Amino acid sequence: MAAKRKGCLGNIGPSSGRMRGSNISPPVHFFKVILRSTIDDQKLKLPKKFGREFGNDLSAVATITVPNGRTWQLGLQKTEEGRVLFADCWQEFVEYLSIDSGYFLIFGYKGFSKFNVCIFGKTLRRLITHGLMLQAVMLSLLTVTRILQKKLKMMMMMMMMMLMN
């Protein structure tokens, strides 16, 4: 494991929970499947929709709380296209938590650049171990299912139009 950069690992202890005054209710959840390119680039691109909705409200540093209560300070980068990325200290986070390609991460955004994350290995074994954010998993899977259904419907309509011509 590479040496940890100063300031990457935050305080150790239980999460303080939702911050008072947060205008986000309930917390926003999104998931990311870790690809080999994510590991190689040493950055994680957050969903475009998240960047559009919250990018202007984010600070330069995000606080990420993992299921054991440990917090990490990750640098946030904003691109000209409006994308948001976890950048500085992302590699240390990945190495410390042994995250690899094929892993499934579910983030809960609590506001004020504070996130919770639940990390699932390739077999989703940690789903049982940590038992956290099950509702977020279901919502994320439901969202993916809806997206795939829409794409399938569009493809079927295009095929029918082609057959009619």
- Comparing CA positions, the residue from 89, 106, 2, 97 lying closest to residue 42 is 89
Residue 138 pLDDT:
62
Mean pLDDT of the chain: 79
Residue 50 pLDDT:
92
- What is the span of the domain harbouring residue 33? 28-164
pTM comes to: 0.64
Domain-embedded: residue 5: no
Domain-embedded: residue 140: yes
The CATH number linked to 53 is: 2.40.330.10
Domain-embedded: residue 128: yes
Domain tally for the chain? 1
Q: Which residues pair with 44 in a beta bridge?
A: 86
Domain-embedded: residue 113: yes
* pLDDT greater than 80 at residue 12: no
Domain-embedded: residue 144: yes
Amino acid symbol at 42: Q
- The 10s digit of each residue's pLDDT in 35-79 is 999 999 999 999 999 998 998 889 999 999 988 888 999 999 999
Residue 140 pLDDT:
66
* pLDDT greater than 60 at residue 164: yes
CA angle at 100 for the pair 97 and 101, rounded to the nearest 5°: 150
Domain-embedded: residue 7: no
Domain-embedded: residue 70: yes
- The 10s digit of each residue's pLDDT in 75-91 is 999 998 889 999 999 99
CB-based contacts of 17-23 (< 8 A; 24+ apart in sequence): 18/110, 18/111, 19/110, 19/111, 19/112, 19/114, 22/110, 22/111, 22/112, 23/111
Domain-embedded: residue 10: no
Say which DSSP state 57 is in: G
